[in-house]
Amino acid sequence: MAVKLAIFDLDGTVTRRDTLFGYLLGFVREHPTRSWRLGVLPPAMAAYFVDGRDRGRLKERLTRGLLSGASRTEIDAWTETYADHVVGRELCPGALARLAQHRDAGDHLVLLSASLDLYVPAIGRRLGFAETVCTGVLWNGDRLDGRLTTANRRGEEKVRCVEALRARHPGIECCAYGNDAADLLHLRRVEHGVLTNGNERARRAAQRLGVPCESWV
């Protein structure tokens, strides 16, 4: 059987829910002297709606507001704890089964997520992914800045990432899995795109585009 490129989304696809808020709020919980920073949440959410629901800007505001100034040692320690929690308690059984199928077939596994490179690679390593592509965050030396260093890996940006992956792995078929309506942009451009755990709106859109739907929860 020919090797395939197997690209998995993280939040809501491999995991049951979003991982970003859990990571950010969990860090504050582990460092209670930062609790005052939770005041950033209401203005950040308000700005999100005023700015046209730009998820990248929201992500940056929350990361800078809650985590900026943290040391690399503090971030690394929390990342290990959080990645263990996600892999131990937050994964979809169907995702684990599909990952095992691809792994047994010798396929090249890629975790492609709009979440942050502070912790997504740690989850990817635990699950045996060969590559991880996610949204980058800026450091100033040993201290976290929190600004994004890449575009938010969502929608058209995720399409660009898939195209770049395919250019680096030419001549092999591609399977891709995502849960959000925005993921349909790249799911419909690969040989085997599947919408997993999608809400009703996403499933309807997938059906119109001929993208199959599965439940992995």
Q: Looking at residue 165, what is its pLDDT?
A: 97
Instruction: Note the Cα 132 to chain centre separation in Å.
Output: 9
Q: Which residues contact 181 (CB under 8 A, 6 or more apart)?
A: 198, 199, 201, 202, 205
What average pLDDT does this structure show over 104-130? 98
Over residues 39-97, the pLDDT tens digits come to 999 999 999 999 889 999 999 999 999 999 999 999 999 999 999 999 999 999 999 99
- 129-178 per-position pLDDT tens digit: 999 999 999 999 999 999 999 999 999 999 999 999 999 999 999 999 99
Residues 128 and 11: their CA atoms lie apart, in Å, by 17
pLDDT at 2 over 90: no
Helix (H, G, I), strand (E, B) or coil at 138: strand
CA distance 202 to 179: 8
Q: Which CATH number fits domain 5-214: 3.90.190.20, 3.40.50.1000, 3.30.310.160, 3.20.20.240?
A: 3.40.50.1000
Q: For residues 186 and 66, give the distance between their C-alpha atoms in angstroms, rounded to a whole number.
A: 32
Bridge-based pairing state of the strands 143-148 and 137-140: antiparallel
pLDDT at res. 51: 84
Per-residue pLDDT, 65:
98
pTM of the model: 0.96
Local confidence band at 1 (pLDDT 50, 70, 90 cut-offs) = low
Residues 6+ apart with CB under 8 A from 15: 86, 90, 91, 92, 95
Per-residue pLDDT at 68: 98
Q: How far apart are CA 63 and CA 118, in angstroms?
A: 10
